[in-house]
Amino acid sequence: MADRIVVTGMGAISPLGLSSEESWRNAVKGKSGVGPITLCDTDGIMVKIAAEVKGFQPELYMPVKEVRRRDRFEQFGAAAAREAIEESGLVITDENRARIGVMISAAIGGITTLEQNVFVLINEGQRRVTPMVVPMYMPNGAAGLVSIDFGLTGPCFSISSACASGADGLGLATLLIKAGIIDVAVAGASEATITRIGLTAFDRAGAMSHVEEPPYPTPKPFDLNRDGLVMGEGAAILVLERESYALNRGAKILAELAGYGSTADAYHITAPDENGSGGARAIRLALESAGISPAEVDYINAHGTGTSLNDSAETLAIKSAFGELAYNIPISSTKSMTGHMMGATGALEAIFCVWAIREGIIPPTINYQTPDPACDLDYVPNHARQIPVKVAIDNAFGFGGHNAVLVFKEYESKA
């Protein structure tokens, strides 16, 4: 039997906390990370709220000189990777560093740095633009810097598949391990797009919520009165290993990443296929690769952005993949609390799937008040649910028609 792929470490910086566990605990509590925007001036733009990371101090994770040379998304990625590697107990040596890959994705990359330096160029001229623009802006920056920070010399890259980037990065990491190219992957995604142009661009695409008054009951995925997504930010990193490698070094195994499915809608550059066929196919492929039947799935962490098109298409995708079983599977959108972390969102939701398996708790979809006839499944409204979870699915769908689905299982030793 081929080696399985297991999770041995997790790290997160999110609107719900500065660690994997803190983010999870607040998700289970149904805590919202949404509030007024403080990271940029919102005069003249219509979006006034976001799910910001609070209290992040990058100098706790890297030298002060490096803080100044890294975009916010790169800082998040470095911090989350450090937590994940420390939890895994992985010791990096000259003997193993070439067999450890880094796959930290980003849909957009260092847009904060780019925006700031465009203004500098216009107002102060070329000589005032930082020479660090390219390494601070490039979407592969977080991956490259984590590779440098830890001396990891295996394959290193960033996947950009919009909001499926983090899940695709994790999926491709499993394929590299299965192919025998590496033994370990530090994989996930990082994103920091809460800027004037980031907010405006998504708003002009018709995707954003315009709620402005506290207690900010938005986003509201799958609710009849949903009015759009709320932008979030952060990073989520997992350490994935070949099972035999993890066992040989005595690692604590948290869960198994058993399956991955990836498809394209080939339909529209921003809208999902209305019948959800691409998402349904990705779910089927992920289950097939995991050797899991639809009846074995205990929980789905939905993409669930809170936009009308996404939520209805995802509901149809789940129904198509599971048939009548869809009505019996608890589904939640943790974006109702974290906002939409763009490329990083699928990676954080992968971490939540692992936690759900380990603790037997399904986080809620908060802000859910009015059922939508087009979205008629069990969305675990407003309160966490304690039930055994042995198999959990992570859906991640993105602009461009990208669909990525991961299947996590409770780890059971062959012995």
Got the DSSP string for 333-373? -THHHH-B-GGGHHHHHHHHHHHHHHHTEE--BTT--SBBT
Q: How far apart are CA 297 and CA 289, in angstroms?
A: 14
Catalytic residue among 40, 156, 210, 303: 303
Of 156, 340, 353, 402, which is the active-site residue?
A: 340
Q: Which residues contact 56 (CB under 8 A, 6 or more apart)?
A: 13, 18, 75, 76, 79
Q: 17 is written with which tokens?
A: 């906390």
**Quick check: is 163 catalytic?**
yes
Residue 340 designated active-site: yes
Between CA 293 and CA 313 the distance in angstroms is 22
The answer to whether the beta carbons of residues 186 and 102 sit under 8 Å apart is yes
Which position among 40, 156, 163, 375 bears the catalytic label?
163
Kindly state the helix (H) or strand (E) to which residue 9 belongs, with its residue range: strand 5-13
What are the strands, taking DSSP E only, across 142-233?
156-157, 184-191
* Whether residue 268 lies in the annotated active site: no
Q: Where are the alpha helices (DSSP H) in 29-140?
A: 64-68, 72-88, 111-124, 133-137
State the amino acid at position 148 in one-letter form.
Answer: I
The SS3 assignment for 92 reads: coil
Q: Which residues are catalytic?
A: 163, 303, 340
